[in-house]
Structure 1
Amino acid sequence: MKIRILIAAMSAVAVQALATTDLPIEVVEVIGDNTMTKEQQLDSQSTLSKPVQDAGELLRSVNGVAATRRGGRGFEPIIRGQSQNQLNIMTDGAYTFGACPGRMDPPTAYTAMDNFDQLTIIKGNRSVIYGAGGSGGTLLFEHKRPEFKDKNYLGSIGLGYTSSSESQDGSANLAFGNKRAFGRVFGDVKSSDNYEDADGNVTASSFDSSSYGLIAGSDLNNQHYLQLSFEGVSEDDVWFAGNGMDSPWTDSETARLKWVYSGGTLVDSFELSLYQSNVDHLMDNYSVRNRMPMNENGMAAPSSSDTQGARWLANLQNGKAEWRFGLDHRANDRSAELYMDAGKDGNYNMLASIMWPGVEQQQTGIFAELDYQLNDQDLLRFGSRVDQFDANATRADEPAGMMGSATPNTLYQNAYGVTASDQSDTDLGLVLGWDHKLSSKTVFSTNVSRSVRAADATEQFIARSAMGSSWVGNPDIAAEKHQQLDITVVSRGETQRWSATVFWDKVNDYIERYNLETATLYRNTDAKLYGIEVDGSRHLSDTLSATAALSYTRGESDNGDLGQIAPLEARFNLDYQRDQWAAGAELVATTKQDKVNPVIDAGETDGFTVLNFYSSWEPLKSLRLQAGIENLLDEMYAYHVNAANSDPFNPDPVRVNEPGRRIWLKVRYAF
Structure 2
Amino acid sequence: MSTSTYVLRPLAAMISCALYMQHAYADQHIVRLTPIVSTAEKGNTANGLIVVLNPKQPTQPIPSVDGAAYLQNVMGFNAVKSAGMVNSDITFRGMFGSRIKVLSDNSENLGACGGRMDAPTSYISPERFDQMTVIKGPETVRFANPGSAATVLFESQPVQFNDGQFYKGQVSTVMGSFGRLDHNVDVAVGEQNYYARLNANRSVSNDYVDGTGKTVHANWEKWNTDLALGWRPTEHTWLEATAGKANGQVAYAGRGMDGTLFARDHLGLRLQQTHINDVIEKIDLQVNYNFNDHVMDNYGLRPLNQRMAMTSNVARKTLNERMEITAHVRDWTLQTGLDHQYNSHSKRGTRAYKQLPRQKDMSFESFGIFAEASHDLSEQQKLVLGTRVDAVTVRDFRVAKQQFNQKRSQTLPSGFVRLESEFPTLNTKTYVGIGHVQRMPDYWEIFSPSLGNGSTDAFNTVKTEKTTQLDLGYQYQGDDFNHWASAYAGYVQDFILTQYGTATNALNVNAKIAGGEFGVGYKFTPHIQTDVSAMYAWGENTTQKRALAQIAPLEARVNLRYVADQYSVGALWRVVGSQHRYSQKQGNVVGYDLGPSQGFATLSLNGAYRWNNGVTLALGIDNMFDRTYSEHLNKLGNANVGFSGTEQINNIGRNYWARIEFKF
Fold conserved between structures, TM > 0.5: yes
Pair 1:384-2:387 in alignment: yes
User: Of the candidates 506, 511, 529, which is equivalent to residue 522 of structure 1?
Assistant: 506
- Note the C-alpha offset of 1:46: 8.7
- Displacement of 1:317: 1.7
Task: Name the SS of the counterpart of 1:382 in structure 2.
Answer: strand
Which runs of structure 2 are paired with 1:127-146 in the superposition (5 Å)? 127-146=140-159
Residue of structure 2 aligned with 1:371, choices 368, 374, 381: 374
Q: Partner amino acid for 1:116?
A: F
3-state DSSP class of the match of 1:644?
coil
Q: State the alpha-carbon separation in 2 of the partners of residues 428 and 347 from structure 1.
A: 42
Partners of 1:454 and 1:460 in 2: CA distance: 10
Change (3 A) 1:148 1:489: same
Give the 3 Å change call, closer, same or farther, for CA 366–37 of structure 1 in structure 2: closer
The structural deviation recorded for 1:264 is 2.3
Q: Rate the CA distance shift 1:474–1:388 in 2: closer, same or farther, 3 A.
A: same
1:173-188 to structure 2, matched below 5 A, reads 173-188=186-201
Counterparts in 2 of 1:527-542, with a 5 A limit? 527-542=511-526
Indicate how the Cα distance of structure 1 residues 638 and 108 shifts in structure 2: closer, same or farther if over 3 A, else same: same
What SS is found at the alignment partner of 2:72? helix
2:50/2:136 contact within 8 Å kept: no
* 1:489-509 Cα shifts (integer Å, max 9, x gaps): 111233332211221120011
Match of 2:648 in 1: 655
The residue number in structure 2 matching 1:11 is none
Question: Aligned to 2:39, which of 6, 13, 20?
Answer: 20
Preserved contact between residue 258 and residue 296 of structure 2 (Cα < 8 Å): yes
* SS class of match (2:63): coil
CA contact (8 A) 2:48 2:474 kept: no
Q: Take 2:160 and 2:271, find their aligned partners in 1: how far apart are those partners?
A: 19
Select 2:533's aligned residue among 539, 543, 549. Answer: 549
Amino acid at match of 1:546: T
Is contact 2:58-2:618 (8 Å) kept? no
Contact 1:363 1:390 in 2 (8 A): yes
Change (3 A) 1:28 1:273: farther
Residue 603 of structure 2 corresponds to 611
Which residue, 552, 555, 560 being the options, matches 1:566? 552
> 2-side partners of 1:161 and 1:299: how far apart?
34
| Conserved 8 A contact 1:471-1:521 | no
Q: Secondary structure at the match of 2:196?
A: strand
Match of 1:446 among 429, 432, 435: 432
Determine if the alignment matches structure 1 residue 248 to structure 2 residue 233.
no
**Using a 3 Å threshold, how does the CA distance of structure 1 residues 92 and 276 change in structure 2: closer, same or farther?**
same
Q: What is the SS of the residue equivalent to 2:659?
A: strand
- Preserved contact between residue 44 and residue 50 of structure 2 (Cα < 8 Å): no
User: Are 2:174 and 1:155 aligned?
Assistant: no
Deviation per residue, 1:584-624 (Å, 9 max, x gap): 00000011012122221222211000000001111233111
In structure 2, the residue matched to 1:5 is none
Distance 1:85 1:589 in 2: 28
Q: Which residue of 1 aligns with 2:629?
A: 637
Amino acid at match of 2:301: V
Aligned CA distance change for structure 1 residues 37 and 180 (closer, same or farther; 3 Å): farther
Check if 1:579 corresponds to 2:590.
no
- Answer yes or no: is the 8 Å Cα contact 2:50–2:135 preserved in 1: no
The one-letter code matched in structure 1 to 2:530 is A
Residues 172-571 of structure 1: pairs in structure 2 closer than 5 A: 172-236=185-249, 238-265=250-277, 267-290=280-303, 292-295=304-307, 297-337=308-348, 339=349, 342-343=350-351, 358-394=361-397, 396-397=398-399, 407-408=400-401, 419-440=404-425, 441-462=427-448, 473-515=458-500, 518-557=502-541, 558-559=543-544, 560-571=546-557
**Aligned amino acid, residue 528 of structure 2:** L
Matches within 5 A, 1:22-61: 29=43, 32-33=46-47, 50-61=62-73
**Does the Cα contact within 8 Å between 2:51 and 2:134 map onto a contact in 1?**
no
Shift of 1:334: 0.9
Q: Are the equivalent residues in 2 in contact too, given 1:443–1:491 (CA < 8 A)?
A: yes
Give the C-alpha shift of residue 319 in structure 1.
4.4
Using the size of structure 1 for normalisation, the TM-score is 0.86
Q: Distance in 2 between matches of 1:159 and 1:17?
A: 18
Q: Distance in 1 between matches of 2:290 and 2:344?
A: 11
Letter in structure 1 aligned against 2:291: N
Q: Which amino acid aligns with 1:425?
A: Q
AA aligned opposite 1:55? G
SS in 1 for 2:549: coil
Given that residues 60 and 620 in structure 2 are in contact (C-alpha distance below 8 angstroms), is that contact kept between their aligned partners in structure 1?
Answer: no
3-state SS of paired residue (2:445): helix
What is residue 96 of structure 1 aligned with on the other side?
109
Matched residue, 1:626: 618
2:5 equivalent in structure 1: none
SS of aligned partner of 1:157 = strand
User: 1 CA distance for matches of 2:468 and 2:49?
Assistant: 28
1:89 offset after TM fit, Å? 0.6
Give deviations 1:264-305, integer Å, cap 9, x for gaps. 245221101110011000001112212x5233x421111001
Deviation, structure 1 residue 216: 1.4
Residues 104-139 of structure 1 deviation map (CA, whole Å, 9 limit, x = unaligned): 111111111121110001111111112223111011
CA deviations on 1:413-436 (whole Å, 9 max, x unpaired) are xxxxxx242100012111110112
| Of 487-496 and 89-98, the range deviating more from structure 2 | 487-496
Name the stretch that deviates more: 445-454 or 434-443. Answer: 434-443
Contact 1:74 1:109 in 2 (8 A): yes
SS at match of 2:504: strand
- Choose which of 62, 65, 73 in structure 1 pairs with 2:74: 62
Shift of 1:357: 5.5
The match for 2:22 is none
Query: What amino acid is the match of 1:443?
Result: K
Q: 1:472 to 1:244 in 2, by over 3 A?
A: farther
Quote the Cα distance in structure 2 between the aligned partners of 1:444 and 1:113: 30
C-alpha contact 1:216 1:229 (8 A) present in aligned 2: yes
Which residue number corresponds to residue 402 of structure 1? none
CA distance in 2, matches of 1:346, 1:112: 29
SS at match of 1:289: coil
| Secondary structure class of the residue paired with 1:459 | helix
* Distance across 1 between alignment mates of 2:236 and 2:187: 27
DSSP-derived class of the 1:605 partner: coil
Secondary structure at 1:654 match in 2: coil
Secondary structure at the residue paired with 2:569? strand
User: Which has the bigger relative contact order, CA under 8 A and spacing at least 6?
Assistant: 2
Q: Match of 1:288, SS?
A: coil
Q: Separation in 2 of the partners of 1:433 and 1:463?
A: 37
Closer, same or farther: CA 463–435 of 1 in aligned 2, 3 Å: closer
Alpha-carbon distance between aligned partners in 2 of 1:578 and 1:638, rounded to the nearest angstrom = 36
Structure 1 position 448, deviation (Å)? 0.2
User: Separation in 1 of the partners of 2:632 and 2:51?
Assistant: 37
The letter of the residue matching 1:260 is Q
Unaligned segments of structure 2, at least 5 residues: 1-33, 586-591
Cα distance in 1 for partners of 2:450, 2:298 equals 16
- 1:401 maps to none
Letter in 2 for 1:428: P
